[in-house]
Amino acid sequence: MSTPNASSVAPAEDGRRGLFRRRPAAGTPAAAARDRRRSKQRRRLANVAGLMAALVLTGVGYSALAPGASAADDPTGNPSNAVEAGRELYTRSCITCHGSNLQGIEGRGPSLIGVGEAAVYFQVHTGRMPLVRQEAQAPERPPIFSEEEIDQLMAYIQENGGGPTLPSGDLRAGDLAEGGELFRLNCAQCHNFAGQGGALSSGKRAPSLEEANDMVIYTAMLSGPENMPVFGDNQLTPEEKRSIINYVQTLKAQADPGGAGIGRVGPVAEGLVIWVVGVGALLFGIFWMGTKA
């Protein structure tokens, strides 16, 4: 029976020692090296975790604080796209008279710096701009721009020139009696008591308010087009503007209790109709009776 020699036993023992190594005793150089390796690994993991947490917090913070899309933004919700589209519209239709930097051109068109989106809405929505030809007063026409294009043009003017913005909320949420008093005090001299408009000097005319919507009336007060004075928030508060709009729109909806309104321009027109119809009927009766006689 053979006995295993030392050379055959040694490799097996070495293999077992490789699989089941003892932990180095504390305080030895091997234990210190092991602790240093583990400390470096923990620091690396902590740095990676800290970086990931910072990225997540940055993303959450930006999402919470980033401004949302405004009413003048384009359908994709990107404000810069609306401004860029408005710039193209301005270059195509407005730059000839108002200049490349909204500064205006003498003899052609005024500066648009500071007019804001309120003036753009009034002028473009009522078809007064772009101007077809130079005349005493830009007439009201159907708008040539769509609602989306008007929003884009407003975004460009507001972004680069600043000025009054469009109001929000119910524009008729005002006191009717106060609105009537304010209208008679500030508006009736030009637009007459029924809002039908009237002639002004130098071939100009105060337009009728018959077809004007709430926003058109409000932006007209904010921007003061043509001969109309500017009624900023220091002259008429937003609540007073809403009261005036409530009065005007209520007045337009009322029926004429006396029959035909005759344009609601007052007793002059009514007296003229009475004279023309009455005297005409009287003359017709006289001639008819004369022929019969």
pLDDT digits (tens, 9 = 90+) for 37-66: 777 777 777 777 777 877 777 776 666 555
> Which runs of E-coded beta strand occur in 44-93?
none
pTM score, whole prediction: 0.64
Closest Cα to residue 187, out of 234, 224, 136? 224
Contacts of 105 (CB under 8 A, 6+ apart): 96, 97, 98, 99
Query: How is 11-32 classified by DSSP, letter by letter?
Result: HHHHHHHHHSPPPPPTTSHHHH
**Which fold does the domain 176-253 belong to in CATH?**
Cytochrome Bc1 Complex; Chain D, domain 2 (1.10.760)
Task: Output the CA–CA distances (angstroms, integers) from residue 185 to 27, 73, 188, 196, 244, in the order listed.
Answer: 98, 38, 7, 16, 11
Amino acid (one-letter) located at 60: V
187 annotated ligand-binding residue: yes
CA distance 289 to 287: 5
191 annotated ligand-binding residue: yes
> Which tens digit of pLDDT belongs to each residue from 141-179?
999 999 999 999 999 999 999 999 999 999 999 999 999
- Spans of the chain below 50 pLDDT: 1, 6-13, 15-16, 18-20, 67-76
CATH of 79-161, one of 1.20.120.530, 3.40.1360.10, 1.10.760.10, 2.60.120.10: 1.10.760.10
Each domain of the chain, given as residue ranges in start order, spans 79-161, 176-253
Contacts of 226 (CB under 8 A, 6+ apart): 137, 138, 204
Per CATH, 79-161 and 176-253 having the same topology is answered yes
